[in-house]
A and B are shown apart, each in its own frame.
Chain A
């Protein structure tokens, strides 16, 4: 056990800090972190930030140097997550491309696909989304019905996707389709790279409970993609989906949660109720301490997973724990934050930080569902970590019930 970073890793941190201080949008490090409200301006702002990260050599931190990346170790990636959480850097608009689609193409893609897509992905010129969930296929993603039919040198795509993050900004979609519905549902799936800029593709935003439009519905109406855009083998897309999913399991947002905790602790030190600082209230102290110890536990568990992954290569199903623990911790933390406000908890945009506290609290209900619900993560732990018997899962649910 050693939780100290080496001099080399600390130097990496210093380099990153210096770069962030010099390159974050003006006012950002002083706490004026304004992201434009207007959709178009917001998109431009995020694309500019993505481009700046690329120019600084930080966008492809974990990518191999042969694809223009930095070859950063898992520990350096951890340092990167810690620091970008501390500076609350803007989101990466191409996070899906760089973190999930890119690494999947490196594993499963053809040389031509790597040549065509990876550099444009890394420099942020082409933003990506992931076409997964459908109205009838959420947790049971393999029951998807969006069809891709071979037509000469092309596939014709018809169907509907939903809950797609970043689709409204995206140039390309990593789309999971059904090319054969005659067998069991995990067969006959094909992953295709689809150009979003075509007549057969339309995107409409979904109005969320948090009053934001962060994700979308996508409609495919005779959209086309050339045969050479198929990733992996036709009909063998489930393997590609699993490859991508293993990259999702390697991520964590525990460092942002820790940062948020520090804000809330500071609030409790600075604000009084009944003449006494909130942090002197015995119940507030107990709750803060419990959150603190859970954050510490989640952080160390993540570092243990990373240390194991350094030796084994790929993240294991243990990553499900990082996901579900962080989602539920964030939910408890944001609930605590709103509760501790007192009667002011009843306010929306007139509440703290223009409504950000209330929005953050609501968003944690969405995060629990995204990337596999907490229930699904517990199934994965039960079945794949503890070896418990699998649920009876329908093998044919992509067909219409008769």
Chain B
């Protein structure tokens, strides 16, 4: 029992924070928000720091670390809403290829991911209003040898513009659940794929539509035909942990901003942080942030350890963080008065990120339901 990051994990948090602060902290996110494409610049830097290599297995040129290590890192990058598909690449794409890929696929993708030459994302939704797994995938046809077609639209795909590869989930067999999905790595610049950016609530992490009309040879199938469902579910769990870690980092900064501002801003002849209405609201932000951090690290550990409690742990983290951290960002806005509602104050960046993530890969309500189901099947 040691509920604490290792010295090395704390060190990577410090270096990530130093790197971002040396680059103006939130500036990358603001430039991305204003329409500039900063991902190449960010990626070049973080590749030198080995961040994309974190979850790539050791044999393929990576650091071979798991979700606890990655969460520690993403907490630091999330503090400044760092743009770029690091959660998609490191929590979803690379582990999926490592888990399901054949040797050729692993050799093709993994060393390139570790070196920073390939970024990955995941196309999962075919419907913007439906929940997973019902909304899994584009229409696919597959034969048992793996060749087949993929057609239709994958929507709400994170970072599809700036990635070099994606894993596309196609529905190749009609079932109600995750079973019947087939995963295929793909290149968004290939013939038969068109990428359309969507105007997104969180402009630091824009979403895309992928229009697909592809014939896929057998060697482009990831894992068994119709059998990608479980791996997709686990990938979604890892993406949830990664998102929670980024939001925890953001909430940590929101607490710092609130505590600092309310200690300096004077009204009625005293710093407003002396008023208990403000002090207690800020204390509650801190409590909620610490609680979300606890759940995130516990879920990361449970997934790494393949603990039977992992499903419950992930759903607890998602449902708690989605609601409570969103409120913390709103409270940060309120603590800053009129200034809090301006474009120049950073609270809205985090608030929008939290809202954009709220329902992605399962609403808090769906996750609470999943949590109880896991409890009852213990």
- A residues within 8 Å of B by Cβ? 1-6, 9, 75, 78, 265, 269, 279, 282, 285-286, 288-290, 292-294, 296-301, 303-304, 306-308, 321, 324-325, 375, 378-379, 381-383, 385-392
Contact = CB atoms under 8 A, between A and B. Distances in A.
Given A325-B287, A388-B262, A388-B282, 11 more contacts: A2-B2, A3-B307, A293-B316, A321-B287, A378-B279, A378-B283, A383-B279, A387-B259, A388-B263, A388-B273, A392-B274
A378 B284 contact: yes
Contacts of B375: 265, 288, 292
Contacts of A300: 3, 294-295, 297-298
B291 A391 contact: no
B328 interface: no
Interface stretch (B18-26, B142-150, B366-374): B366-374
Contacts of A387: 259, 263
B2 A1 contact: yes
A4 to B, nearest CB: 7
Interface string B298-328: 1011100101000011011101100000000
B164 to A, nearest CB: 32
Main secondary structure of the interface of B (DSSP, over half): helix
A388 B287 contact: no
Given A293-B295, A297-B291, A321-B287, A4 B259 contact: no
A321 B271 contact: no
B100 to A, nearest CB: 26
Contact of A307 (B3, B276, B286): B3
A286 B274 CA distance: 36
Nearest to B67: A1
A292 B317 CA distance: 11
Contacts of A324: 287
Contacts of B317: 293
A78 B300 CA distance: 22
10 contacts: A5-B1, A290-B319, A293-B317, A297-B294, A297-B320, A303-B1, A385-B286, A387-B259, A388-B262, A389-B263
B282 A1 contact: no
Given A1-B68, A1-B300, A389-B273, A306 B286 contact: no
B283 A289 contact: no
A389 B271 contact: yes
Which has the most chain B C-beta neighbours within 10 Å: A78, A293, A375, A382? A293
Contact of A381 (B283, B313, B371): B283
**Interface size of B as a range:** 35 or more
Contacts of B315: 289, 293
The 3 closest A-B pairs by CB, nearest first: A289-B368, A293-B316, A300-B294
Given A279-B376, A375-B276, A292 B316 contact: yes
A289 B319 contact: yes
Contact of B286 (A75, A297, A386, A391): A386
A378 B283 CA distance: 6
A335 B10 CA distance: 40
Interface string B230-272: 0000000000000000000000000100010011000000110
Contact of B291 (A3, A269, A294): A294
Nearest to A2: B2
B3 A294 contact: no
B263 A307 contact: no
Contacts of B2: 1-2, 307
B289 to A, nearest CB: 11
Contact of B280 (A279, A290, A306, A375): A375
B198 interface: no
B311 to A, nearest CB: 12
Contact of B301 (A1, A306, A381): A1
B291 A1 contact: no
Nearest to A74: B1
Interface string B324-359: 000000000000000000000000000000000000
Nearest to A6: B1
Residue from A1, A279, A286, A321 with most neighbouring chain B CB atoms (10 Å)? A1
Nearest to B300: A1
B365 A296 contact: no
A63 B282 CA distance: 37
Contacts of B5: 1
Contacts of A299: 294
